[in-house]
A and B are shown apart, each in its own frame.
Chain A
Amino acid sequence: MISDFFLLRVSASLRSTILLLVFFAVSAQAEFRFPMPEFASGYQHPPVYTPAPSNAMAGWDIVVLLAALTLAAIFVLKRRKRREIFLLTLFSLLYFGFWRNGCVCSVGSIQNVATGLCNPSFGVPLTVLIFFAAPLIFALLFGRVFCAAICPLGAIQEAVAIKPVKVPPAVEKVLSMVPYIYLGLAMLSVALGSGFIICQYDPFVGFFRMGASSSLLIVGGLMLVLGVFVARPYCRFLCPYGVLLNWASKLSRRHAAITPADCIQCGLCADSCPYNAINKPVSAAAPENRSRGARRLGLLILLVPVLVVIGAGTGGLLREPLSRMHPTVRLAERIAGEELGRYKGMTIESFAFRASDTPNEKLYAEAVTLKEKFGRGGKWLGAFIGFVIGCKLIAVSVVRKRTAYEPNRGTCYSCGRCFKYCPVKE
């Protein structure tokens, strides 16, 4: 009883003190409410512990990246051993993935570079620039050796690709359009300042960091399970950096060759490739009437501008959903909704906005400008996608003469599986 009474008294006095303090907090204008105490006991206050950034080893990343790229090029072009390439892949998974937490990665670096190009006040760190440029330059010289053994996102998928099955080539062709759309969306998002969506929706970085939002971890987990059967699903059907590597690798100076000598056309390599990245030989005899092929090609070339116009129109119509990528637009819509009484309560964003004393009109005006920009950006995005579809159609319709099984320079990841399967020895 006594202790209860005591507690009540204490809590009552505490409450009144806090009430007083609240009043004090409102009325006080001074920097500090309480004077710093003078200690009679000679107490010295401890310093604030401010550890230096752990990122000081970014320079090492560049060294490791360049060394690993060189090694990968040697393994793929000179030594031609699948096992060595795979060991290097595992090293990259451990170093760039688990040790360096998957950041900075070349896939994300395109966003930094694009931001740097769009916004002159945004500097791109040298490390990021090298991570952007080095794999592309290596692809121009030696093919996609970066994908083979360096990229941590590729490496984690390569490690789980245990029972790869063949995806029908038609499905592969259609799905390989998705990276272009993703790249276009990411560039639009970066250009208009609504964030780095490639990093935001990176499915595997959560595993490298041992933590992410549960939905992303689930998506990443599902993708890894899918990756057991459909090898490298992210690389083939999503990776936006792969688009650039594909372009660079198509022009590569040297590229992994399947056979060390003459191809005997056994077809084992094409069976071994889980990525549909090996082109079959095409007989010298023309597969169809020459004039028919020429007419179709002409029609397809004429179709490209039509597709561009259709794409631009569709992209322009997507103004509203696209503009919701931007946090300011979302905030403006929320605030407008709150003003109209459409929502109950406030979100953290709307609370912080109201606390900042910015007039609503300013926010609305900003959102309207952004929406206009997204309308224009959407047209560009649509036109780009239309153009890509047109080019893909042309690429599908053109048949080249080929006497041997050859890697498709654009899509081949130089993983080296076919080396092992080729019966021809030097």
Chain B
Amino acid sequence: MKMAGRRDFIKNIARGALLAGIAGVCGMLVSRKNKYQCNGRCGTCKPGNGGTCPLGSDGYVWQIDPEKCTQCGRCATHCVLAPSAVKCFHSYSICGYCDLCGGYLRPDAKGRNTGAENQLCPTAALRRQFIENPYYQYTVDEKLCIGCGKCVKGCGAFGNGSLYLQVKHNICVNCNECSIARACPSNAFRRVPASDPYLLKSNQERRIS
């Protein structure tokens, strides 16, 4: 009896210690969760409260910084989803509506038309539509887009860079550690607040002006 009593006593102490350990770790992490990486853009943190985020560290999602992205093509291949949750976004407000679109046409295109042999996009996800002379609107069909970034590269090299890659958040499963972020050679992935989950180039333009 005495043996069992002693063993129980030791067990109780160990159990209490483990419980206190778990609680301590969690408490420590909860108390400092507000220092999460922040781009300061969502505006929910007031300068008055020391820049701490009222959202806490919950509500953060992955996003691509279009400034850092080098269009390596890994977004198409390294997402845990197939096809990738990364899609091409088009900020129409900064598009030149060019007839000769570097994002739409292959560099060796035979003509400026919708012919499949002229298109840069491997899945024909970029659509070209006549607006008025000499302007054309380009729309991304997100069902077809695989996030390879070929059009982004073309638009960045020859145009305004109005095409760029973003994580589409109704598709993204917000992994523990984004598997594209791990493979990204230019560290373009970062956590952004879920309340403002996109790093849009059109927003950036508004900020500049």
Alpha-carbon distance A14/B8, docked complex (angstroms): 85
Chain A residues packing against B (C-beta within 8 Å): 7, 10-11, 14-15, 17-18, 21-22, 25, 31-37, 39-41, 43, 45-56, 58, 101, 103-104, 108-109, 111-113, 116-117, 120-129, 132-133, 136-137, 140, 195-196, 199-200, 205-206, 209-212, 247-248, 251, 253, 327, 348-349, 351-353, 355-356
**Known contacts A11-B109, A205-B80; is-contact A53 B172 (Cβ 8 Å):** yes
Residue B194 lies at the interface, judged by CB distance under 8 Å to chain A: yes
Count contacts between A and B, CB distance < 8 Å. Answer: 217
Known: A58-B58, A124-B29, A195-B177. A41 touches B131 (CB 8 A): yes
How far apart sit A55 and B178, CA to CA, in the bound complex (Å)?
A: 14
**6 tightest A-B CB contacts, nearest first:** A123-B57, A34-B96, A123-B36, A45-B92, A352-B185, A211-B82
Chain B contact residues, CB within 8 Å of chain A? 11, 14-15, 18-19, 22-23, 25-26, 28-30, 32-37, 56-61, 70, 72-74, 80-82, 89-98, 100, 102, 105, 107-112, 131-132, 135, 137, 139, 142, 157-161, 168-177, 179, 182, 185-186, 194, 197-198, 200, 202, 205, 208
In the bound complex, residues from chain B placing their C-beta under 8 Å from that of A56 are 194
State which of B131, B137, B173 has its C-beta within 8 Å of the C-beta of A101.
B173
* Contact residue among B56, B160, B202 (Cβ-Cβ distance under 8 Å from A48): B202
- Chain A residues lying within 8 Å of B173, measured Cβ to Cβ, are 54-55, 101, 103, 209
From A36, A101, A140, A195, give the contact of B18 (CB < 8 A).
A140
The answer on a CB contact under 8 Å between A103 and B107 is no
CB pair A35–B96 under 8 Å, yes or no, is: yes
Please tell me if the beta carbons of A121 and B74 are within 8 angstroms of each other in the complex: no
Of all chain B residues, which has the CB nearest A198? B176
CB contacts (< 8 Å) of B73 on chain A: these are 348
Give Cα A253 to B16, complex, Å: 11
Contacts A49-B142, A199-B177 aside, 17 further interface pairs with beta carbons under 8 A come to A10-B110, A32-B96, A33-B96, A33-B159, A34-B159, A35-B96, A53-B172, A54-B172, A55-B173, A121-B37, A129-B29, A133-B22, A136-B22, A137-B22, A251-B15, A348-B73, A353-B185
Contacting pair A22 B157 (CB below 8 A): yes
Name 8 interchain pairs, CB-CB below 8 A, sorted by A: A18-B107, A39-B131, A52-B197, A123-B35, A129-B26, A209-B81, A210-B82, A212-B80
Q: Report the minimum CB–CB distance from B114 to chain A (whole Å).
A: 14
Is there an interface contact between B29 and A351, defined as CB atoms closer than 8 Å?
no
Given known A-B contacts A48-B202, A205-B80, A248-B18, A33 and B135 have beta carbons under 8 A apart = no
**In the assembled complex, how far is the CB of residue A30 from the closest CB belonging to chain B, in whole angstroms?**
10
| A37 with B96: CB separation less than 8 A | yes
CB-based contact B80/A25 at 8 Å: no
A200 touches B157 (CB 8 A): no
Q: B194: nearest residue on chain A (CB-CB)?
A: A53
Query: How many angstroms from the CA of A125 to the CA of B58 in the assembled complex?
Result: 4
B174 to chain A, nearest CB (A): 5
| CB-CB nearest in chain A for B73 | A348
Q: Kindly list chain A residues whose C-beta atoms are within 8 Å of the C-beta of B37.
A: 121-123
Known: A37-B135, A103-B176, A113-B29. A14 touches B98 (CB 8 A): no
The interface residues of chain B lying within 8 Å CB-to-CB of A137 are 19, 22
Interface contact A50-B200, CB-CB below 8 Å? yes
Measured between C-beta atoms, what is the minimum distance from A166 to chain B in Å? 30
Complex interface: chain A residues within 8 A of B185 (CB): 348-349, 351-353
Q: Is the CB of B32 within 8 A of A123?
A: yes
Residues of A with C-beta under 8 A to B34 = 123
Chain A residues, Cβ within 8 Å of B205: 31
Contacts of A35 in B (CB 8 A): 96
Known contacts: A43-B131, A124-B29, A137-B22. The answer to whether A14 contacts B174 by CB under 8 A is no
Query: Which of B18, B89, B98 contacts A251 (CB under 8 A)?
Result: B18
Residue of A nearest to B100 (CB): A17
Complex-state Cα separation, A355 to B70, whole angstroms: 9
Q: Which residues of A contact B135 (CB under 8 A)?
A: 37, 39, 43
> CA–CA, A196 to B177, complex, Å?
7
Residues of A within 8 A of B26 (CB): 129, 132-133
B70: A residues at CB distance < 8 A: 351-352, 355
From B22, B32, B81, B89, residue with most partner A Cβ within 10 Å:
B22
Complex Cα spacing A126 to B34, Å = 11
| Contact, CB under 8 Å: B186 / A352 | yes
Q: Which residues of B contact A133 (CB under 8 A)?
A: 22-23, 25-26
